Structure 1
Amino acid sequence: MPFASVIVPVKDGFDLLVGCVRALLDQDYPADRFEVIVADNGSAASPATVLPKDPRLAIVHESKPGSYAARNAALAVARGEIVAFTDADCVPDRGWLRVSAQYLSTHPTVAMIGGRVALTYQGGVPRNGPEWYEFVEGFRQQKYLASGFAVTANMVTRRSQFDRVGLFDDSLLSGGDAEWGRRVRSAGGRQAYVDTAVIEHPARDTWNEVKIKTRRTTLGIVRRTTRRRLVRLLAGQMLRSLTLPISVARRRDLPSWTAKRLYLMTKWRVDGVVAAGLMAGLQQTRKK
């Protein structure tokens, strides 16, 4: 098996990081053929205070804010031919690294893959608006790959791709996975979805968590988008919000009218946050 480096950025939240790292060290991949690099991005304390001692585990520190800056710092010391990415709040399936590396080994023309991100819920199933929103909208990896990228919660690639197209854009606080993935595609790199490469991710179950993520991702879009496209995005956002009740009523993946109502109310709130972010972006471009 090829030597693999697994990169996990983190800023605080060590309770979840511990579970992620333990799951990584327990992978059914040959123990002498992979390393785990935790990239600390300015936590209040060092991750070393909570993580197990293991020769396969290394910690790097990056003071520049942003998970993409942290990932680049880890890439600077990574030794793997295969480079796998996940997040500190994720729990990889025991066969995740093996399945991913085998796919790349048996498909030499594929540059990068995205695996399935399986949401988990505190009560076993979605119960409130934020969880139903995550159920519908969270981590649609196949859709993302159709547009040229995979979320770094579950993305595996070859080191040669970074040599070919460069590192992540560390000026981006959000959307760096999309920007890098599209560089790979533009350079002719093939991308694939691998459903059996599974990572679990806890669904956001409060409105505050959903709001924070929405603001961050909207800001990422604004920072890399022209004024003309912002106008189109805002117009499309407003139109979709007006017709949202009809589209939600037609959804077959929401199992009840209660689920549809809870999802609808949260989606409307999300759309409001997105619209506010896009309008703020338009105002900023007008000032320039």
Structure 2
Amino acid sequence: MTDLTLPETTLGPVLPAPAPPLWDGATWVGEIWTDALAPADRTARYRLAHVDGFTRARLLVRADAGPLGFVELDVVDGTIDVARLRTLAADLPLPTPAPPATAPAISVVICTRDRVSMLQTALASVRAVTYPDVEVIVVDNAAATDATHRYVESLHDPRVRVIDEPRPGLSRARNTGLQAATGGVVAFTDDDVVVDRHWLTAIARGFARGSAVSCVSGLVPAAELRTPAQAYFDARVGWSSCLRTRVFDWAAPPSDIPLFPFAVGHYGTGANFAVDRAAVLRLGGFDEALGAGSPTGGGEDLDMFFRLLRAGGQLVYDPASVVWHRHRASSEGLAEQSRTYGVGLGAWIAKIACDRTTGPQAFATALSRAPEFVKYLSYSAATARPADDLAPLLPEGLTTPAWRSVLAGFRAYRAALREGRVPTPLAVPT
């Protein structure tokens, strides 16, 4: 039992669960700032809000310079022990101090399609961001109703506007948002997220971490771990596994990433990245044959990261830029997401392999780094396999061999091109 004579402080979750979990491995997700862990704070326990049904808690420990890391604790009578939390937090490495930065005008682009209930949560978090010069563009992509328009217009927020992209496809929607943006920096996120209130400040600082930064990505932790499907996806994608700031440059291959620049898993993900608008326009925009809503189902974010690097821009991964993601909760949603992610990655690999310039370089890298390439394939296969306690609770077919994903991706990319989707639709005619 909790000693009611001891002082308590209440912590809220990143995203309140829509319903109590029915799975005994469910983990409550929140965050704590180091200021709240000062020894002068005599609070003995933290009470967790909306914790019914959760037996574990995961907290992101944060400081002004950036996140230190995650800690996990047992939940006892709806509380966690502060002394134990302090001990775990003390073992985390300190973040890299951020350089001073200006505050460039930033356009936030959220692409959505008939998911107003999710968009409401995402947009509310974006509107709460502390940043001085921001506009928000909601791109309504091939919608079946005008619900998104009606919702955005009901906000009466002069910073937020909604525009249409009638042709289906996330890349097309992102290109439409890119063209409509007035900021020199365009930050992309999804409609199934909760962005941190310091998100855009961290992005602005990220652009100051190099002399030629054209892209900044960041941390994408799970906003809830209520179901086995969410726990599996969180372990597989590793979107929150790196808490170290990195600056990637094509001309300076990092020694710890032997498959650079083709090891795109280190660069970030499409739920949280910002680009130099002019740099992306020079590349011709996002490849319409990649991404959700196309036959490939994904890969457009990885493709853009790679192309910006190849064009000579630096890519900064800064974990201080935090966007919490709502993973698919159901087994059916997980199965579909796993399939589309695999096909999307395979489509991007097929595109690289068939390119006259990048194809030979990719094969040469794989051959010259054969042991590392084999290790990478083995690691990918291992992370695709569910943990023993999760396997009986998940659908079959989550561990598609890499070669099958590439083959399926190649066919999907060809199908997308046959539909008339253009790899560089915003290219200026010469």
| Length-normalised TM-score, structure 1 | 0.78
Deviations 1:206-234 (A, max 9, x none): 211111112222332444415999xx9xx
Q: Aligned letter for 1:169?
A: D
Q: Which runs of 5+ in 1 are unaligned?
A: 249-258
Aligned residues between the structures: 264
Kindly state the Cα deviation for residue 104 of structure 1 after the two structures are TM-superposed: 1.1
Deviations 1:41-81 (A, max 9, x none): 11222312122121111111112211110010111110001
CA contact (8 A) 1:39 1:60 kept: yes
Please point out which of 315, 322, 326 is paired with 1:198.
322
Q: Aligned letter for 1:164?
A: R
Please point out which of 84, 94, 107 is paired with 1:5.
107
Larger Rg: 2
Query: How many Å separate the matches in 1 of 2:333 and 2:272?
Result: 20
Bigger Cα displacement from structure 2, 134-143 vs 54-63: 134-143
Query: How many Å separate the matches in 1 of 2:411 and 2:278?
Result: 41
Question: Is 1:35 aligned to 2:159, yes or no?
Answer: no
Give the 3 Å change call, closer, same or farther, for CA 74–184 of structure 1 in structure 2. Answer: same
**Match in the other structure for 2:273:** 155
**Match in the other structure for 2:331:** 207
Q: Which runs of 5+ in 2 are unaligned?
A: 1-102, 249-256, 258-262, 292-297, 367-373, 414-430
SS at match of 2:118: helix
Question: Is 1:271 aligned to 2:399, yes or no?
Answer: yes
Query: How many Å separate the matches in 2 of 1:281 and 1:158?
Result: 28
Please point out which of 39, 47, 54 is paired with 2:157.
54
Query: Whose relative contact order is higher, 1 or 2, with alpha carbons under 8 Å and at least 6 apart?
Result: 1
Query: How many Å separate the matches in 2 of 1:74 and 1:151?
Result: 18
Query: How many Å separate the matches in 1 of 2:121 and 2:412?
Result: 41
Query: How many Å separate the matches in 1 of 2:409 and 2:225?
Result: 36
CA contact (8 A) 2:225 2:231 kept: no
Identity of counterpart residues, as a percentage?
Answer: 25
Kindly state the Cα deviation for residue 102 of structure 1 after the two structures are TM-superposed: 2.5
RMSD: 3.6
Give the 3 Å change call, closer, same or farther, for CA 184–277 of structure 1 in structure 2. Answer: closer
SS at match of 2:187: strand
Deviations 1:83-107 (A, max 9, x none): 1010011110011011111321454
**Match in the other structure for 2:221:** 118
Please point out which of 3, 17, 20 is paired with 2:119.
17
Query: How many Å separate the matches in 2 of 1:106 and 1:4?
Result: 17
**Match in the other structure for 1:253:** none
Give the 3 Å change call, closer, same or farther, for CA 58–176 of structure 1 in structure 2. Answer: same
The 5 Å alignment of 1:120-199 reads 120-121=223-224, 123=226, 127-128=227-228, 130-140=229-239, 147-148=263-264, 149-173=267-291, 174-199=298-323
Deviations 1:142-166 (A, max 9, x none): 7797634431200012112213322
CA contact (8 A) 2:188 2:273 kept: yes
| Length-normalised TM-score, structure 2 | 0.54
**Match in the other structure for 2:200:** 97
SS at match of 1:167: coil
Query: How many Å separate the matches in 1 of 2:107 and 2:412?
Result: 40
Query: How many Å separate the matches in 1 of 2:137 and 2:411?
Result: 41
SS at match of 2:207: helix
Query: How many Å separate the matches in 1 of 2:159 and 2:390?
Result: 42
**Match in the other structure for 2:18:** none
CA contact (8 A) 1:2 1:101 kept: yes
Give the 3 Å change call, closer, same or farther, for CA 106–42 of structure 1 in structure 2. Answer: same
SS at match of 1:120: coil
Query: How many Å separate the matches in 2 of 1:197 and 1:262?
Result: 32
Bigger Cα displacement from structure 2, 185-194 vs 267-276: 267-276
Q: Aligned letter for 2:120?
A: V
Give the 3 Å change call, closer, same or farther, for CA 134–220 of structure 1 in structure 2. Answer: closer
Q: Aligned letter for 2:337?
A: K
Query: How many Å separate the matches in 1 of 2:175 and 2:410?
Result: 31
Query: How many Å separate the matches in 2 of 1:178 and 1:22?
Result: 27
Query: How many Å separate the matches in 2 of 1:90 and 1:84?
Result: 14
**Match in the other structure for 2:52:** none
Give the 3 Å change call, closer, same or farther, for CA 102–66 of structure 1 in structure 2. Answer: same
Select the structure that is richer in helix. Answer: 1
Bigger Cα displacement from structure 2, 97-106 vs 33-42: 97-106
Bigger Cα displacement from structure 2, 35-44 vs 267-276: 267-276
